[in-house]
Amino acid sequence: MKKVVVIIIVLHFAMNSLGQDANIDARYLKSKKLDKSYIGSFVHLLFAKYPAGMGDTVLLAINNTQVQFVGHVYSGEQGGLFYAQYWQSVGDVAGHKLRLVQNRIDAITSDSILVTSYFDSYAKSGALAAGKSIQQQYWYSRKAIPGLLVKVNGSGL
């Protein structure tokens, strides 16, 4: 029994020290904890309960057209790396895949969040399509966003 307790304690401290890795540049925040001090912060919106994973989907309006996006939101080894998280369009939009790579918080109310979303455009070859990026503002209900990954080291991409 003592051996089990010692192993649990060692694992607890090991996991906590790994969580403080200098390469980790994102941290999870429940949307209900979001306050005005986060205005201007770059975030990933989690449209599902954390930890979200590959395969979660969301519909977003792009130029007045509903586009389905699938989550590439990791909770394992890459879970704390901001660049590794994104939402990608399921189908093509004007001949390209769109990738929602980050959001900037522009305003916060008691029940809503205003963000500017940054979408990169990718050609069928998988190459980033220069000059095809899109920025679009969205209001979200806090109820629709259970949590966020907040970029903590530096500003936007």
pLDDT in tens, the chain (157 residues): 544 333 444 333 434 444 444 567 788 899 889 999 999 999 988 876 555 555 688 899 998 899 999 888 665 554 557 877 889 999 998 889 999 999 999 999 999 999 999 999 999 888 999 888 899 999 999 988 888 889 986 544 4
What is the pTM (predicted TM-score) of this model? 0.76
Rg (CA), the chain: 18
Query: What span, in angstroms and rounded, lies between the C-alpha atoms of 114 and 106?
Result: 5
Q: Is the dihedral of CA 90, 41, 136, 122 positive or negative?
A: negative
What are the φ/ψ torsions at residue 108 (nearest 5 degrees)?
-140, 130
Q: Are strands 97-108 and 112-122 parallel, antiparallel or unpaired?
A: antiparallel
Give the C-alpha separation, 56 to 46, whole Å. Answer: 9
Tokens for 143, please give them. 């109820």
- Rounded-to-integer distance, Cα 39 and Cα 21, Å: 25
